[in-house]
Amino acid sequence: MDALISEAAVRLLWTRIPAAGVYYLGPPMATAVIVLAALFLAIALGFIYYVILRAPWRTQRRSLSLPPGPRGNRFSGIPNEVLNIQPWRKYAEWAEEFQSPVIHLRTFNRTIIVLNSSTSIKDLLVKRASIYSDRPFSWMYYDICGRGKTVFNISSMDKRHGVYRKVLDRGINRRGNVPGDVGKGGSEGGSGSYWGLLEEEVEVLVDRIMKDPEGYEKHFRHNSASVIMKLAYGYSIKENDPFLKLAEESARISGWALAPGKWLVDYYPILRFLPTWLPGPLTEFKRLGQHWKQRMDLFSDVPHEWVKGQMASGSYIESFTSRLLRDIQEKSASHPQPGHREEDRITEDIIKWCAVGLHAGAADTTVCALTSFILLMALHPQVKKRVQAEIDEIEFIGEGELPRVRIRDLPKLKYLKAVMKEVLRYAPIGNLVCELNGSLALPHKVIQEDVYMGYRIPKDATVLANVWAIMHDPTLYPDPFTFNPDRFFNLGVDSPKSEDALLSDPYTTTKPVQQVNPDPRNFAFGFGKRVCPGIQFAETSLLLCMASILSRMDISLPVASKDIHQVPKIDFTTGLTSHIKPFPIEIQRRR
Annotated binding site for heme: 532
Our CB check for ligand HEM shows the closer of 197 and 362 to be 362
Nearest distance, CB of residue 298 and ligand HEM, angstroms: 20
Region for residue 314 given its phi and psi (left: phi exceeds 0; alpha: psi -120 to 50; beta: otherwise): left
Nearest distance, CB of residue 259 and ligand HEM, angstroms: 19
Nearest distance, CB of residue 241 and ligand HEM, angstroms: 19
User: To 5 degrees, how large is the angle CA 120–CA 124–CA 130?
Assistant: 170
Q: Is the dihedral of CA 223, 227, 233, 238 positive or negative?
A: positive
Q: What is the largest CA-CA distance in the chain?
A: 106
Nearest distance, CB of residue 365 and ligand HEM, angstroms: 4
Nearest distance, CB of residue 108 and ligand HEM, angstroms: 22
- Coil, strand, or helix at residue 85? coil
SS3 track for 236-257: CCCCCCHHHHHHHHHHHHHHHH
The beta-carbon contacts of 489-493 under 8 Å, at least 24 apart in sequence, are 489/414, 489/415, 489/418, 491/516, 491/517, 493/517, 493/518, 493/519
> What is the distance between the alpha carbons of residues 16 and 10, in angstroms, rounded to a whole number?
10
Nearest distance, CB of residue 9 and ligand HEM, angstroms: 57
Our CB check for ligand HEM shows the closer of 353 and 483 to be 353
Region for residue 351 given its phi and psi (left: phi exceeds 0; alpha: psi -120 to 50; beta: otherwise): alpha
Nearest distance, CB of residue 204 and ligand HEM, angstroms: 18
Our CB check for ligand HEM shows the closer of 129 and 140 to be 129
Nearest distance, CB of residue 442 and ligand HEM, angstroms: 4
Quick one: 42 exposed, middle or buried, by C-beta within 10 A (0-12, 13-18, 19+)? middle
Residues contacting residue 495 through CB under 8 Å, at least 6 positions apart: none
Nearest 10 degrees: Cα torsion 347, 352, 358, 364: -160
Our CB check for ligand HEM shows the closer of 364 and 554 to be 364
Our CB check for ligand HEM shows the closer of 164 and 285 to be 164
Nearest distance, CB of residue 329 and ligand HEM, angstroms: 24
**First vs last Cα of the chain: how many Å apart?**
99
Our CB check for ligand HEM shows the closer of 285 and 466 to be 466
Residue list, annotated binding site: 532
Q: Is the dihedral of CA 181, 183, 184, 190 positive or negative?
A: negative
Nearest distance, CB of residue 336 and ligand HEM, angstroms: 28
Nearest distance, CB of residue 439 and ligand HEM, angstroms: 10
Which strand (E) or helix (H) includes residue 221? Answer: helix 216-233
Q: Which amino acid appears at position 71 of this protein?
A: R
Q: CA-based Rg of the chain, rounded to a whole angstrom?
A: 28
Question: Are the C-beta atoms of 235 and 309 separated by less than 8 Å?
Answer: no
> Which of these, 314, 431, 373, 365, lies nearest to 547 by C-alpha position?
373
With residues binned 3-state (H G I as helix, E B as strand, rest as coil), the percentages for the chain, rounded to 5, are 50, 10, 40
Our CB check for ligand HEM shows the closer of 205 and 271 to be 205
> What is the distance between the alpha carbons of residues 82 and 237, in angstroms, rounded to a whole number?
40
Kindly list the residues in this chain that would bind ligand HEM in the complex (CB under 6 A): 151-152, 172, 357-358, 361-362, 365-366, 369, 429-430, 433, 440, 442, 524-527, 530-534, 537-538
Our CB check for ligand HEM shows the closer of 69 and 533 to be 533
Nearest distance, CB of residue 543 and ligand HEM, angstroms: 11
The helix/strand count (H/E) of the chain reads as 22, 10
Our CB check for ligand HEM shows the closer of 464 and 550 to be 464
Residues contacting residue 265 through CB under 8 Å, at least 6 positions apart: 139, 140, 144, 271, 272, 285
Quick one: 161 exposed, middle or buried, by C-beta within 10 A (0-12, 13-18, 19+)? middle
Our CB check for ligand HEM shows the closer of 78 and 524 to be 524
- Strands 553-556 and 450-452, bridge-based pairing: unpaired
Our CB check for ligand HEM shows the closer of 307 and 532 to be 532
Our CB check for ligand HEM shows the closer of 476 and 531 to be 531
> What is the distance between the alpha carbons of residues 293 and 291, in angstroms, rounded to a whole number?
5
Nearest distance, CB of residue 408 and ligand HEM, angstroms: 20
Our CB check for ligand HEM shows the closer of 145 and 524 to be 524
> What is the distance between the alpha carbons of residues 81 and 126, in angstroms, rounded to a whole number?
31
> What is the distance between the alpha carbons of residues 265 and 164, in angstroms, rounded to a whole number?
28
